[in-house]
Amino acid sequence: MGIFDKGVQKTNQNFFQRLSRAIVGRSRVDEDVLDAIEEALVSSDMGVDTTLKIIDNLEDRVEKDKYMSMDELVDILRDEIAKLLNVSPDGEDAPVQPFDFSKKPYVIMVVGVNGVGKTTTIGKLAASLRAQGKKVVIGAADTFRAAAVDQLVIWAERAGVDIVRQEMGSDPASVAFDTVKAAVARGADVVLIDTAGRLHNRIDLMNELTKIRNVMRKVIPDAPHDVMLVLDSTTGQNAFQQAKEFSRATDVTSLAVTKLDGSAKGGVVIGIVDQFRIPIKFIGIGEGIDDLKVFDKREFVRSLFSREDIKK
């Protein structure tokens, strides 16, 4: 079993149940089959725009030869989805580089609404980096929720990394400033800055994230090097809205998608990448400390279309 198979199992089953019902007993790809494929893609929360793009491309590719096997049809779908996931400026087959250790410290500002797994993602990242021998400093800049800070402290202790915190209600930018300053002084490799997950007012959010950026740049001129948006795949279309709001509020440069193993709506991953052209760096496929994986689009697509009766 591949590393992503568990994570997309529910989406895989949901998609293939619908696809199989559409194709069984048919020898050609007609409008009914295309309609059923469209329904299957939408049901996985890929989004209407992305689904229509795939259907249009699929229609073009089967125009000359309407007779094809299930294997051939799946191959085309695999190919089309892999293309949509290719947003790397370094080329289609360029591997994901989640960290640039030539920048020391490499600063990641982590954003996302409350409840998506943002704090847990930071903790798992810290643990993974520590296991690689990297020195990590976490900044608890979500000063509006005591639970978030307490949870980060537990993760920092568990991962064996440093954490910078202040009193509840403190200025988040002040925490971020102290964190990057401490990271430089301690020779840290990576800084992970947690931020508040409130979307009650876009202007407030924009101002807060901009202020955090500006104060960090007083210490490290090109910080943050990555603004990572954490999304919960189980929220489906709400994840699209969150991506839209945070992209308006700040320059989001990467995604971490959590709880993929608990969702039949894994298509949201494809739709968000396609619509916002933001690369995925990590996906969460379980509760374990090692269940945050570096995203590999080819492995993800293979797992999405993995099925015993498809020998590919």
Per-residue pLDDT of 264-311, as tens digits, reads 566 788 889 999 999 999 988 777 777 788 888 888 777 776 654 443
Q: What is the pTM of this model?
A: 0.87
- The 10s digit of each residue's pLDDT in 75-99 is 888 888 888 888 866 555 556 678 9
The residue-averaged pLDDT of 253-258 equals 93
Task: Reply yes or no on whether the pLDDT at 156 is more than 90.
Answer: yes
Task: Reply yes or no on whether the pLDDT at 65 is more than 70.
Answer: no
User: Which of 142, 239, 265 is closest to 192 using CA atoms?
Assistant: 142
**In which band, very low, low, confident or very high, does the pLDDT at 213 lie, cut at 50, 70 and 90?**
very high
State phi, psi for 109 to the nearest 5 degrees. -95, 120
Please state, rounded to an integer, the average pLDDT across all residues of the chain. Answer: 83
- The CATH number of domain 106-295 is 3.40.50.1260: no
- The CATH number of domain 9-91 is 1.10.1240.10: no
State phi, psi for 283 to the nearest 5 degrees. -130, 145
Q: Where are the beta strands (DSSP E) in the chain?
A: 106-111, 136-140, 162-164, 190-194, 226-232, 254-258, 280-284, 292-294
Greater confidence (292 vs 137) lies with 137
The residue-averaged pLDDT of 113-140 equals 93
The reported pLDDT for the residue numbered 7 is 46
The residue-averaged pLDDT of 126-151 equals 92
**In which band, very low, low, confident or very high, does the pLDDT at 226 lie, cut at 50, 70 and 90?**
very high
State phi, psi for 106 to the nearest 5 degrees. -85, 120
Q: Give Dmax (Cα) for the chain.
A: 68
The reported pLDDT for the residue numbered 295 is 87
User: Start-end ranges of CATH 1.20.120.140 in the chain?
Assistant: 9-91
